Amino acid sequence: MTKQRTQPAPLPPEETMRRAVAMRDTRYDGRFVYGVVTTGVYCRPSCASRPANPANVRFFTDPVSAAAAGFRACKRCRPDSAQDGSVSLMQDLAKYIETHADEPLSLGRLAAQVHWSPAHVQRTFKAVLGVSPKAYQDAARLRRLKIGLRAGRSVLDSVNDAGFQSTSRIYGHTPRNLGMSPSKYRAGGAGETIAYAFRQTVLGPLLMAATDLGVCFAQFGVAEHTLVAQLRAEFPQADVIASAMTHSPELDAWIEAFEAHIAGTAPRPDVSLDLRGTAFQIRIWQFLLKAPTGRVMSYGEIAAGIGTPRAVRAAAAACAANRIAVLVPCHRVLRGDGGLGGYRWGLERKRALLDRERVPRIEAAVAG
């Protein structure tokens, strides 16, 4: 079946395009290309080539349209390259959102900022950054909220400074990212109990910790005290306790199941997880959780799997930000060329985990 090509956004007014070409305005790269009749070449608006006679210039929505009209791509500005000015433009727009996160940012206002149509901004921003402009602003507001709370500001002041319209919206939506109410987060987790258990495993020292919502931390390290220090850094005032049967029997059971899993003698334990991150990060982690055990994927496949095929680097960054080793199986993500790529807990551990997960598949193939 032939895949249908998405309809390109309409061309800007001709006067606007001619001005963009004359000024070599990078903001319009990706919005249109122009061809020069006398040379048979088409270029980006920002191309540094010698200005053409305006009478010989033709405008097209995209490289495909220009090529269909008989023009060939400029070797200087490479308008047929997948990388265009829209990437840097959307990155600049993301910085604008960060700076103005506390203000109402309609899609129309963002579109006016880059001189694009709202639909084109929505589509391109999501393709480049991996999330919609609104989701990006929500994440920026949450970061502001956390900074204010950690600095000791009141909940009300922190909420207002972050740009949330009311405290009810905070209490209704942010606990899944903060892992607790804003007042508890402001106090550095005061009043919150986080139980942890430490084990020497076949893959080295491991610390697992859980809130009432589920496992929030599972990391390998050098020693128990360094891992506990990492845990306390997130919640400096929380009641961080070593797990005991009287306090958290579930955590002991979970970590025993976890250890059996990484030793290759049991499936991945079915435990509740307390995922904390940006909207995009959580989408990546949830996608990994749904993948069949033992299946390896590339960063590109993951980005495409959540509907953002151009957000490969963002997908890799989300895997690197994962705090819950093995249970959120970022070790199964490889580079596009099949190489191991990175792993925050060391490539030897990544290789060992992949090798252990391949064994059941090999045994099943032999048995079949």
Full set of structural domains in the chain with CATH: 14-73 (3.40.10.10), 82-186 (1.10.10.60), 193-262 (3.30.160.70), 279-367 (1.10.10.10)
Taking each helix axis from N to C terminus, what angle separates 107-114 and 133-150, rounded to the nearest 10 degrees? 100
Integer angstrom CA distances of residue 267 from 20, 133, 215, 292, 294: 59, 39, 17, 12, 11
Q: Model confidence at 2, in pLDDT bands (50, 70, 90)?
A: very low
Beta strands in the chain (DSSP E): 33-36, 41-43, 57-60, 72-73, 193-201, 204-211, 214-220, 239-242, 297-298, 333-334
Residue 174 DSSP SS3:
coil
Give the active site residue among 43, 47, 74, 319: 43
Top pLDDT among 100 and 56 is at: 56
* Cα distances (angstroms) measured from residue 4 to each of 115, 166, 253: 27, 44, 51
Torsions phi, psi for 57 (to 5 deg): -95, 135
Give pLDDT, residue 63: 83
Spatial contact of 93 and 125, defined as CB atoms under 8 Å apart:
yes
Report the C-alpha gap between 239 and 256 in whole angstroms: 23
43 is catalytic: yes
Please confirm, yes or no, whether 77 is among the known catalytic residues: no
| For residues 224-236, average pLDDT | 85
Q: Please tell me the least confidently modeled range out of 40-54, 88-102, 112-126, 177-191.
A: 177-191
Sheet holding 239-242, edge to edge: 214-220, 204-211, 193-201, 239-242
Give the pLDDT score at 227: 92
Tokens of 210: 């859980």
Is the pLDDT reported for residue 328 higher than 80? yes
Mean pLDDT of 14-40: 88
Nearest-CA neighbor of 324 among 263, 282, 368, 279?
Answer: 282
Q: Catalytic residue, from 74, 216, 319, 330: name it.
A: 330
Q: Which amino acid is at 14?
A: E
Residue 78 pLDDT class (50, 70, 90 cuts) = confident
